[in-house]
Amino acid sequence: MNILKTKFLLFRRKPAAYIVTTIIICIFTYLMGQGQVTKEPIALFSTLNNEQQSVIMKELKKLSQYDFTLYEEDEAIKQVKDGKVDVAISLKDDGYKLIVAPDFMNAPMLGNELNAIYSQVLLKHAIIQSSPDEQKEQITSKIEKIQDEPSFNIGYKNLGNENGIKFDQKLRSLFGFTLFMVIYTIASGVNHIVMERRDRIWERITVSAIPKWKAYLANLTYSFMLGYVQITLVLTIFYFGVGIDFYGGYWKSLIVVIPYVLCIVSLSIFIAAIANTPGKFNAFMTVLAVPLAMLGGAYWPLEIVTSKIMLALSKISPIKYGLDLLNGVTINSSSTTDLLLPFSILMFMTIIFMGIGINVLEKKEQI
C-alpha cells in the first residue's frame, strides 16, 4: 500500500506527460472522426412550384448522408460532367430523374430513398386534394401532426445481410485511437519497474520486510490505474462533452475495457522482462504498438481487409479483441455469449504474458 501511495505521490508531482497524452488522444480522435465523415454532394434542379419544392427539400434534408444544393438545369448537369458531383436529380411533378456519373454506385439506394419521399409527398397531396375545401386546412394540419408524432415506429431488419458491417466512423476513431495511445501510457507506468531494477531499488525491497509480490502488485496496480483512468476520461469527455452516440453502451464500455487494460499491462511486463534498460523498453514498446494498432483495426476496419494473411495476423493483436468488446456493447449490441470469446482471449493473453514476464524477471534477478 505504501509503495502504491508513493507512486501516486510521484505522479502528482509530474502529471504533465499524462495530461498532454490525454489531450492528444482527444484532439486526434475528434479530428479523425470529423474529418472522415463527409456528405455526398448532390446537385438538384427543379420544375416544381415553390410550395412543392419546399416540401420535397424538407424531406431531402432528413437524408443526413447527402448534401443537396439547388442549381439551374444546365449548371447541375455541368457539375456532373465536370466531376464536381457524382449525381444530379431533376425534381418533377410526377417523379424524378437521376443523372449519374459512370462510377456512382449508390444510385439504387438513392433511388429507393427518393421513391419513399415521393410516395409520401404524393400520398399526402392526393389525400388533401380529395378532401372538401372547407376541411383541407384541418386535414393538412392533422397529417403534419401525425408525421411529427407517429403513433408507432417501424423497425427494419435486413435478413439477407445479418453479418453486414455496422459502421460508425466517430465511434471507431474514438475506440481505435484510444486503445492505441493508452499502450504508451501503460508502458510508462511499467517502465518504473525497469528503472527501479536498473537503479537496484528492487534489491533493497528484497531485503526489506515488504514481500516481493506486494511490490509487483503495487506497480501493476499503478500501471493499470494509469491506463484505465485515461480511457475512462477520454470516453467520458466524448460521451458527455462531444455527444458521441454510444448506442446505450457507455457504462458497459467502461467495464469491458478492463480485460484489455490488463492485457496491455501484462504485455508491458513481458517486454520489460526482455529489455534490460529503460531505453530498450521504450524502443520495443514504440515499435510494437504501431503494428498492433494496424493489425488490430485501430486505423481501419478489419471488415474491409481482404488479405487472409493480414486477417490471420490480426488475431495476435490485443487491440482487435478490445475493439470487439467495445463495438459489441455499443454499435453491434452483441449478446454476452458473443463477448465471451474476445474476453477469454484477452484474459488468456494476460495470464501468459504475466506468467512468462515475471518468471523471466525473477530469473534475471537470481543471475
Domain ranges of the chain: 2-35+170-366, 40-161
The predicted model gives 68-89 an average pLDDT of 88
pLDDT at 151: 45
> What cell does 147 get?
408525421
Query: What band does 332 get if pLDDT is binned at 50, 70 and 90?
Result: confident
Using CB atoms within 10 A of its CB, is residue 89 exposed (0-12), middle (13-18) or buried (19+)?
Answer: buried
pLDDT at 163: 47
Query: What band does 136 get if pLDDT is binned at 50, 70 and 90?
Result: low
Single-letter code of the amino acid located at 273: A
Mean pLDDT comparison of 6-15, 28-37, 104-113, 289-298, highest-scoring range: 289-298
C-alpha distances in Å from residue 214, one per residue of 209, 225, 351, 355, 365:
11, 16, 18, 16, 17
Q: What pLDDT digit, counting tens, does each position of 169-185 carry?
A: 788 889 999 999 999 99
The predicted model gives 269-282 an average pLDDT of 88
pLDDT at 166: 62
Query: What band does 137 get if pLDDT is binned at 50, 70 and 90?
Result: low
The predicted model gives 210-216 an average pLDDT of 77
Longest pairwise C-alpha distance within the chain: 99
Query: What band does 153 get if pLDDT is binned at 50, 70 and 90?
Result: very low
Query: What band does 346 get if pLDDT is binned at 50, 70 and 90?
Result: very high
Using CB atoms within 10 A of its CB, is residue 338 exposed (0-12), middle (13-18) or buried (19+)?
Answer: middle
The predicted model gives 119-136 an average pLDDT of 63
Query: What band does 237 get if pLDDT is binned at 50, 70 and 90?
Result: very high
Residue 265 scores a pLDDT above 90: yes
pLDDT at 212: 76
Query: What distance, in Å, lies between the first and last C-alpha atoms of the chain?
Result: 29
Q: Percent of the chain at pLDDT above 70?
A: 82
Query: What band does 152 get if pLDDT is binned at 50, 70 and 90?
Result: very low
Q: Are 268 and 223 in contact (CB under 8 A)?
A: yes
The predicted model gives 101-124 an average pLDDT of 77
40-161: CATH architecture: 3-Layer(aba) Sandwich (3.40)
The predicted model gives 191-212 an average pLDDT of 73
Separation of alpha carbons 178 and 183, rounded Å: 9
Average pLDDT, the chain: 81
